Structure 1
Amino acid sequence: MTAAVGLLTLGESMVSLRCPGPLAAGGNLSMHVAGAESNVAVGVARLGHSVRWAGVVGADPHGQFILRQLRSEGIAVRHREDAERSTGVMFLEQRTADVTRAFYYRAGSAGSTLGIEDVDRAFCGGARALHLTGITAALSVESRRAVEYAAARATDEGMVVSLDVNYRSKLWSRGEACAALSQLVRYANVLIASDDELPLVAPGPWAGTREEDPDEAEVSMAEYLLDQGVEEVVVKRGAAGAGVHTASGRWEAPALPVTSIDTVGAGDAFTAGYLSVMLDGGDVPARLQRGAIAGAFAVSTAGDWEGLPRTGELGLLGISSGTTQR
């Protein structure tokens, strides 16, 4: 019988073809694996936990590349090959030192066909926690149902459910996201969102006060989500750090001062760090601190996940992120 893992996650992974300059100018492309859920899977696995990733790939070299890369990171893979559809592909160009642009070729991809039967296979053996994102829910009606089914099943089986909003305007409108994610929030123990994503899962009169008093609006939205049953509302603010709201208090941590090289995947790195300490049994301040450290590794190295730290490397930056309670 398959042993339970620390973290189970499911979603679409794609091949990312990266260009160091404008795509229109041509040049060499490097091949990588991209996907919010697989980014988190790599980060948590490197920090000492067993991880299982589930998804659908095409019966093509791109799919084989993704599976080989994930397995090389020690991740258990539960996948289905779709012979009729291709693995999704994205092109990423470094347009300027501060601007990165992505071009997706994922419509109708194999990954978008993730269904309830795939979820059932993924759950075989059990897990302590399930991590989901709004990206997978946005891919298709079928995958949306699969994500909600996974969240409901995980709750029934006593798993911790982590939900990262991860809104992508190229996949769905804010109205569509709000309607779908409001259903998923019911199952979330840990809700993760950037400060501008919070209104998608906490609609209410405070949305209009965000410009006047963003902190007051954030507190109101967090209280709304806590009232809905969420236990931890984690707010990512990029260079402004991150915060966590719980029923017992609020904690804040600044971003670490590092030289930013590539911000792609930074949010997923933060999430991986945060969840790894949760699986370790650490408290909220410790989770927040490691999230900030993992995020710093991500922005100061190139790639979605390639520079993420292993447990023994967490002190390499020589700095720590002090958390404060408010």
Structure 2
Amino acid sequence: MKDKIVTFGEIMLRLSPENNARFTQCNAFEAVYGGGEANTAVSLANFDVDANYVTKLPKHIIGQAAINSLRQYGVGVDHIVRGGDQIGIYFLEKKTSQRPTNVIYNRAGSAFALATADDFNWDEIFDGATWFHFSGITPAISDEMTNICITACQKAKEKGMTVSCDLNYRSKLWSSEKACEAMSRICQYVDVCIANEDDAIGIFSMNPADANGEEKNAYIAKELMKKFPFKMVASVWRTETSITTFKLQSMIYTEGKAYYSKEFFMHILDYIGAGDAYCAGLIYSLINNFDPQKAVEFSNAASCLKHTVSGDYNLVTVDEVMKLAFSDAGNEVQR
């Protein structure tokens, strides 16, 4: 039986000044749609996985355009709820040289932010599903959404599904204290956790300096697995090696052992969605029974390729990821 994946979160309209301009210079915005779990669903659909996305969007044409952006890549949209007046928006000023990325959210009062538990029938949504994925951004949106996520996780576990969560701490959405309280409740239901150093510090106040010489990502994974019943913790990190180049590497920790990917050195076109691409690579690896080393290499390569694709969505195929992950021919001209 083919695995059916369900992802849950808010898809937003992303507005970025053209040509890496600052907000104060901007005369025109580039508009694309995206959001953590939507990005993961698109990646999985491009991997020929039965990927289904759940959210709430207004009935107007902008809401429909967001749905169309998912449907065109084969994402299942049958359980998207329609209602409310607004779609969430975020303004993105892209990182350029030493100037960091700047994100401004305009999502308060969106259809998804005002969604209630009655909007989502999880028995119907999870019919035939094998995997549920969401991120820590979703429960951060409201107290109601925190409870909706918990209900969804409980229902997924009742149905024997695997639950994965990308912790994805966002300090602009909630405080460390509130994040810790909510995510501590949610993580009791999670099988596969994706978390980096910033998540561990921001949500659970972990101190990588306590690792005592142990590689910090493995240390964080072990500490998280002491707190929660995770079967696996995965992490991906990007290190700046010069003003224009970055190094990407990732790790999977499972059954008491850490597995590390090879490193990729890269120039970045657009890194938004790279973590979501990693999540998709990891889910694809696990539903296809890749061993941990193969899984970490595939997931890391999927994330690497996202850095070369403009917009939130990772528009690459399994073959392209495989070639980058497991051969040295990734940069050759494809004829």
Normalised by the length of structure 1, the TM-score is 0.88
The residue number in structure 2 matching 1:314 is 321
Cα RMSD (Å): 2.4
Which of 271, 282, 304 is equivalent to 1:274? 282
Which of 288, 291, 295 is equivalent to 2:296? 288
Contact kept in structure 2, 1:231 and 1:246, CA below 8 Å = yes
- Give the letter aligned to residue 70 of structure 2: L
The equivalences for 1:200-279 within 5 A come to 202=204, 207-208=206-207, 210=209, 213=212, 215=214, 218-227=217-226, 228-238=228-238, 239-279=247-287
CA shift digits 1:193-227 (9 cap, x unpaired): 11221245655xxx345277474554444223324
Normalised by the length of structure 2, the TM-score is 0.86
The residue number in structure 2 matching 1:70 is 70
The residue number in structure 1 matching 2:59 is 59
Contact kept in structure 2, 1:232 and 1:244, CA below 8 Å = yes
For residue 240 of structure 1, report the CA deviation from its aligned partner.
4.6
How far apart, in 2, do the equivalents of 1:291 and 1:95 lie?
Answer: 24
The equivalences for 1:1-326 within 5 A come to 6-19=4-17, 20=19, 21-77=21-77, 78-83=79-84, 85-94=85-94, 96-97=96-97, 99-121=100-122, 123-199=125-201, 202=204, 207-208=206-207, 210=209, 213=212, 215=214, 218-227=217-226, 228-238=228-238, 239-305=247-313, 307-315=314-322, 317=324, 320=327
How far apart, in 2, do the equivalents of 1:224 and 1:281 lie?
Answer: 26
Give unmatched runs, 5+ long, in structure 2: 239-246, 329-335
The residue number in structure 2 matching 1:324 is none
Distance 1:143 1:26, change over 3 A: same
Distance 1:163 1:143, change over 3 A: same
How far apart, in 2, do the equivalents of 1:175 and 1:146 lie?
Answer: 20
Contact kept in structure 2, 1:269 and 1:308, CA below 8 Å = no
For residue 281 of structure 1, report the CA deviation from its aligned partner.
1.9
Distance 1:215 1:196, change over 3 A: farther
Identity %: 27
Distance 1:262 1:311, change over 3 A: same
CA shift digits 1:126-158 (9 cap, x unpaired): 311100111010001111111111111111111
Contact kept in structure 1, 2:6 and 2:129, CA below 8 Å = yes
Equivalences, count: 314
For residue 310 of structure 1, report the CA deviation from its aligned partner.
1.2
- 35-44 vs 295-304, which moves further: 295-304
Distance 1:219 1:258, change over 3 A: closer
For residue 39 of structure 1, report the CA deviation from its aligned partner.
0.4
Distance 1:318 1:12, change over 3 A: closer
How far apart, in 1, do the equivalents of 2:125 and 2:36 lie?
Answer: 19
